[in-house]
Homo-oligomer: A and B are copies of this chain.
Amino acid sequence: MFKEYQQLRIPGPTPIAPEVQRAMERTILGHRSGEFSKIFAETIKKAKRIFQTEQDVLIVASSGTGALEMAVANVVEPGDKVLVVVTGVFGGRFAKIAKAYHAEVLTADFEFGTAADPNQIREILKQHPDIKAVFATHCETSTGVVNPIQELAHIVKETNAVFVVDSVSALVGMDLKFDEWGVDIAVTASHKALGLPPGLALIAVSQKAWRVIDENQGTRFYFDLRSYRDNAAKDTTPFTGPVSLVFGLSKSLDLIEEEGLEQGFKRHFLLRNMVRAAVTALGLELFVKNDRDASCTVTAIKGNDQLDPEKLRKVLREDYKIVAAGGQQHLKGQIFRIGHMGYTHPMDILTTISGLELALKQVGYPVELGAGVKAAQEVWANEKNLG
């Protein structure tokens, strides 16, 4: 009966709004048809608003990692010196991709669970004025850390380097003022806070970045941003575009517009605060201790001697129909993660917590049933001024 019944509480893919699901079911169109071109052009116009930019936003058929590579491939030539801010697995992935493109990679490493320190980045940039690009992760999905992108952008802006931001699991869930902050490249993917299936990536590009990209002689073809820009000018894609995902994106952007970007940020902030309050009330330890460093889109929770996160996740999934994520790399078996982005209502968090409580009890962890739900309810009630 309940084979497909589940709450998808991993940090992407995320639940899909019925309006978006139906939009994607629209009869497929040819990717070169005038009808699709019209939708494509309108969708790009709407997408600029979520990046808060007047500059170029391009659509590519790829996962989030493809979009990260797109950023690297267009900026980096072999031998270029770049700086990668590493606060977790996805910062590490930026470094890996840059190395695959034969860059000379400097990394600024921060302990997993804490955000990057802008002062350290400023220092490194001073010591290495020849750094061509700085890569940073907005929300580090592997730990639930949010990095201070505005401050980092401010620092990099004063140099010749371009500032590249992986906002895959952050955009729309947390603020990113592309133009105002002076970000040069920002990427996101469809299956995170945009609430679409995976397969579509968005990339915003500044004028400062285009100057580097246009001069870049490095190898690239599918991910060559110049061909996406040149084709976007003709309302089309260089290669076959992800037609149905564009239908869905168009609708998803409408829903986001309808809620309002600011209201959406507030909602994600509330979801985070509800999860953090509940988890704390249940006597569990948050992986990101400092509220300031805690992402509004994903929360990591520590296991301990009495709590095996992998056992807990299995019970959560099988008995309580809640799909949480585990830890990655050295955090595997150490933490579990709850995604709360995109088409996620505060009610969903109450459901998640009520299931988490029962799963904790089931794996033998001492828990007071209802205590986590109550804490989350109180956060919401306070926000609503219910007293």
Residues of A within 8 A of B (CB): 1-5, 7, 17-19, 255-256, 258-259, 264, 319-322, 343, 345, 347, 350-351, 354-355, 357-358, 361-362, 369-371, 373-374, 377-378, 380-381, 384, 386
Docked-complex contact B357 and A377, CB < 8 angstroms: yes
Determine the residue in chain B with the shortest Cβ distance to A320: B347
A358/B386 in contact, CB under 8 A: yes
Known: A19-B3, A258-B1. A386 touches B370 (CB 8 A): no
Whole-angstrom distance between the Cβ of A363 and the nearest chain B Cβ = 10
Which residue, A1, A345, A386, has most C-beta atoms of chain B within 10 A? A1
Q: Whole-angstrom distance between the alpha carbons of A4 and B258 in the complex?
A: 13
A322 to B347, CA, bound (A): 9
Copies in the complex: 2
Chain B residues in 8 Å Cβ range of A320: 347
For residue A365, give the distance in angstroms from its CB to the closest CB of chain B: 11
Contact of A369 among B259, B358, B374 (CB under 8 A): B374
- Complex: how many Å from CA A256 to CA B3? 12
Cα A255 to Cα B1 in complex, Å, equals: 5
Can you pick out 19 interface pairs between chain A and chain B where the beta carbons lie within 8 Å of each other? Answer: A1-B17, A1-B255, A1-B256, A1-B259, A1-B343, A4-B18, A7-B347, A322-B347, A350-B350, A350-B351, A350-B355, A354-B373, A361-B386, A362-B384, A369-B373, A370-B370, A370-B371, A370-B373, A373-B373
By the criterion CB–CB under 8 Å, are B361 and A350 in contact?
A: no
Q: Tell me the bound Cα distance from A386 to B319 in angstroms.
A: 12
Complex-state Cα separation, A345 to B320, whole angstroms: 9
Contacts of A357 in B (CB 8 A): 377
Q: What residue in chain B is nearest A19 (Cβ atoms)? A: B4
Complex Cα gap A258–B3 (Å):
10
Q: Is the CB of B380 within 8 A of A345?
A: no
A4 to B22, CA, bound (A): 12
Query: Main SS of the interface on chain A?
Result: helix
Find chain B residues with CB under 8 A from A345 CB.
2, 5, 321
Q: A347-B351, A369-B374, A373-B374 are in contact. List 13 more A-B contacts (CB 8 A).
A: A1-B258, A1-B264, A2-B345, A4-B17, A5-B17, A320-B347, A321-B345, A350-B351, A350-B373, A354-B377, A358-B381, A362-B386, A370-B377
Closest chain-B Cβ to A326's Cβ sits at a distance in Å of: 21
Closest 9 CB pairs of A and B: A370-B374, A370-B370, A350-B354, A1-B259, A351-B351, A369-B377, A369-B374, A373-B373, A1-B255
Query: Within 8 Å CB of A321, what residues of B?
Result: 345, 347
Q: Which residues of B contact A2 (CB under 8 A)?
A: 345
CB neighbours (8 Å) of A258 from chain B are 1
> Which chain B positions have C-beta within 8 A of A384?
319, 362
- Residues of B within 8 Å of A351, CB to CB, are 347, 350-351, 354
Complex CA–CA separation, A370 to B319 (angstroms): 21
A189 to chain B minimum Cβ distance, whole angstroms, is 19
Inter-chain CA distance A249–B272, complex, in Å, is 40
Please determine whether A381 and B354 come into contact, CB atoms closer than 8 angstroms: no
In the complex, which of the residues A17, A320, A354, A362 has the most CB atoms of chain B within 10 Å of its own CB atom? A354
Q: Smallest CB-CB separation from A257: which chain B residue? A: B1
State in angstroms the CA–CA spacing of A354 and B345 once bound together.
Answer: 13
| Complex CA distance for A343 and B378, rounded to whole angstroms | 30
Q: Which residue of B lies closest to A362 (CB)?
A: B386
Contact B370 A358 (CB under 8 A): no
Per the bound structure, the CA–CA distance linking A374 and B380 in Å amounts to 18
